[in-house]
Amino acid sequence: MPAARSGPADRTPIPLSVLTGFLGAGKTTLLNRLVADEGMADTALIINEFGEVGIDHLLVETANEDIVEMSSGCLCCTISGDLIRTLEDLVARRDAGEIRHFSRVVIETTGLADPAPVLHTIMNHNYLVYRYRLASVVTVVDAVNGMATLDAHAEAVKQAAMADRLVLTKTDLLGEGGSDGLDALKARLRELNPAAPMLDAARGEAVADRLFDAGLYDPEAKTPDVVRWLAAEAYDGNGHHEHEHEHDHGHDPNRHDEHIRAFCITTDQPIRATSLELFMELLRLQHGNGLLRLKGIVLLEEEPERPVVIHAVQHVFHPPIRLGQWPGDGARLTRLVCITRDVEKSQIEGLLEAFTDRLTDGGAAFRDMTLSLRPGGGR
């Protein structure tokens, strides 16, 4: 196996994407196409079994029993032991130059899997959290059965709501008159998840670069591209996506979608660094389960010119990242985009206000009472 390493090991955290989607949605079919995609050349793909992905014709070299290299350069590996071991092993072999250098990891989850525990596993691991960072959640949705699956399964709704990219499969099977159904499915997905681009697999749109380069960092420039990542404008406007349980549009109130909220909270009130930590901690404790995704850029009182980027998937918060300057038009505004299940905008807004309110000195009471519990709390 050729080693692509020269000099010291690259310690830049490796972007990691999770590919999910309901049973039979078309994950394996998509992966089959992707392993031949040149855009996968620097990717290590983690799947459950080689048998599921018909890779034999693309196989170039077998590094060992768990890892094979495709003609595209994509490394394909099965889970050996558990996911933690596989990820540790991959990065150790890359550092040692035993396998081809890769700069992206994609993990395929099984059909019923909730992607959150996969991310928890990695982000709660003392070492892996520094070697990998979440780039994107990609959710495959079947255009033929998608509506029925969303009606029947809360997990499918959750998978769609927490995605950074949505891939529609089987649109080729819709035929004449199928476009109404497709439009309705797209509208439903858009309401669940206002910002995630939808890519049509049958039209060849689901290529590696469009699927997996959805993280905070611009893959070319390797600098944070917060404006693209937050896509805060997708949550603006008519408030339709913030559907605060009005039940005025004839939906079955038991539909799983009715539990999902997608909204953006904006404020020009700065927050102190310690208050931000407490805000995140309380958010995690009170609403972690329902916080499907949270992405944000935050105005700090101590250093208003250097915003902090925060990112959470349910109970797990990434280590915050401090930027050198404000992105885009430079407006110094805290923006939090949230996709939640059974958590209202007013609940998160209220919590943030408690920590930014000048009258209460930015939640001084909370801070003073709780800081002693968190020795050396900041990252």
Ligand X SMILES: Nc1nc2c(ncn2[C@@H]2O[C@H](COP(=O)(O)OP(=O)(O)OP(=O)(O)O)[C@@H](O)[C@H]2O)c(=O)[nH]1
The residues that touch ligand X, with contacts defined as CB under 6 A, are 21, 23-29, 111, 169-170, 172-173, 201-202
Nearest CB to ligand X, comparing residues 24 and 178 = 24
Q: Which helix (H) or strand (E) holds 76?
A: strand 75-78
Q: How far is the CB of 234 from ligand X (least distance, A)?
A: 26
Burial of 203 (C-beta count, 10 Å sphere; 0-12/13-18/19+): exposed
Yes or no: say if 158 and 152 are a contact pair by the CB < 8 Å rule. Answer: no
Looking at beta carbons only, is 172 or 252 nearer to ligand X?
Answer: 172
Task: State how far the Cα of 379 lies from the Cα of 377, in Å rounded to an integer.
Answer: 7
The answer to whether 42 and 32 have CB atoms below 8 angstroms apart is no
| 293 vs 313: CA distance, rounded Å | 5
| Cβ distance to ligand X smaller for residue 77 or 337 | 77
Closer by beta carbon to ligand X, 91 or else 144 = 144
Q: Which amino acid is at 146?
A: G
- C-alpha–C-alpha distance, residues 72 and 67, integer Å: 14
Angle, helix 154-161 to helix 179-192, in steps of 10 degrees: 70
H-helix segments, 249-290: 273-287
Instruction: Write down the least CB distance from residue 57 to ligand X, Å.
Output: 17
Minimum CB distance to ligand X, residue 60 (Å)? 23
Closest approach of ligand X to the CB of residue 146, in Å:
12
Looking at the Cβ atoms of 149 and 169, the one nearer to ligand X is 169
Question: What are the structure tokens assigned to 234, written together?
Answer: 């997708």
Q: Which is nearer to ligand X, 29 or 269 (CB)?
A: 29
Least distance in angstroms from the C-beta of 243 to ligand X:
29
Beta carbon of residue 184, minimum distance to ligand X (angstroms, whole number)? 19
| DSSP strand pairing (316-317 vs 321-322) | unpaired
Nearer to ligand X, 207 or 364 (CB): 207
CB of 26 to ligand X, least distance (A): 3
| Residue 175 CB neighbour total at 10 angstroms | 7
Angle, alpha carbons 222-34-314 (nearest 5°): 60
